[in-house]
């Protein structure tokens, strides 16, 4: 286990009106603004589209363009265990799920494993789902 503590954040993004809001998970050292951003995305491809896991290192959540809001979900001691959850969580089902379903599964497992507090689920309920 790392001796450093890490914060887990949810970031939501500006997008087209009346469409689902894109959600990302962000993890950084406590009180830092640069860390790793984790997403599921559908790449722009001429082939059959499908969801894939994606991440970006050295992401700055303060200066990133398009951020509509963010919420801290907790502090964890072992980023490796939480990143394992991020990487193995089932991807959304094409045409019936989206990134929000994936984030729900990640946060739920983080709570079930005791990495995040139970109030993370109530906090997730308050995150915008549709663009206004």
**Assigned domain for 103 exists:** yes
| Model pTM score | 0.92
**Assigned domain for 130 exists:** no
Residue 118 half-sphere exposure toward CB, CA atoms < 13 A: 0
Residue 3: per-residue pLDDT = 63
Residue 65: per-residue pLDDT = 95
**Assigned domain for 116 exists:** yes
**Assigned domain for 81 exists:** yes
Report d(CA 17, CA 117) in Å as an integer: 32
Q: In DSSP terms, which residues pair with 70 in a beta bridge?
A: 11
Residues of the domain holding 28: 6-125
Q: How many CB atoms lie within 10 A of CB 27?
A: 21
Q: Tell me how far CA of residue 30 lies from CA of 73, 76, 94, in angstroms.
A: 12, 9, 35
**Assigned domain for 59 exists:** yes
**Assigned domain for 131 exists:** no
**Assigned domain for 82 exists:** yes
What's the distance, Cα to Cα, between the start and end of the chain in Å?
A: 42
Report d(CA 50, CA 97) in Å as an integer: 11
Tell me the pLDDT of the chain (132 aa) as tens digits.
Answer: 446 899 999 999 998 888 899 999 999 999 999 999 999 998 777 777 889 999 999 999 999 999 999 999 999 998 999 999 999 999 999 989 999 999 999 999 999 999 999 999 999 999 999 987
Phi then psi for 119, rounded to 5 degrees?
Answer: -65, -10
Number of domains in the chain: 1
Report d(CA 111, CA 109) in Å as an integer: 5
**Assigned domain for 132 exists:** no
Residue 44: per-residue pLDDT = 76
In total, the chain counts a number of residues equal to 132
């Amino acid at each position: 286990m790392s001796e450093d503590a890490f914060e887990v954040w949810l970031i939501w993004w500006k997008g087209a009106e009346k469409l689902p809001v894109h959600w990302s998970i962000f993890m950084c050292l406590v009180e830092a603004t640069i860390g790793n951003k984790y997403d599921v995305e559908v790449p722009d491809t001429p082939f059959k589209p499908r969801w894939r896991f994606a991440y970006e290192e050295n992401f700055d959540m303060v200066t990133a363009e398009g951020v509509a809001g963010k919420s801290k979900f907790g502090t964890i001691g072992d980023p490796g265990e939480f990143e394992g959850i991020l990487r193995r969580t089932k991807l959304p089902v094409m045409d019936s799920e989206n990134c929000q379903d994936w984030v729900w599964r990640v946060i739920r497992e983080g709570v079930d494993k005791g990495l995040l507090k139970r109030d993370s689920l109530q906090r997730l309920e308050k995150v915008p789902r549709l663009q206004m």
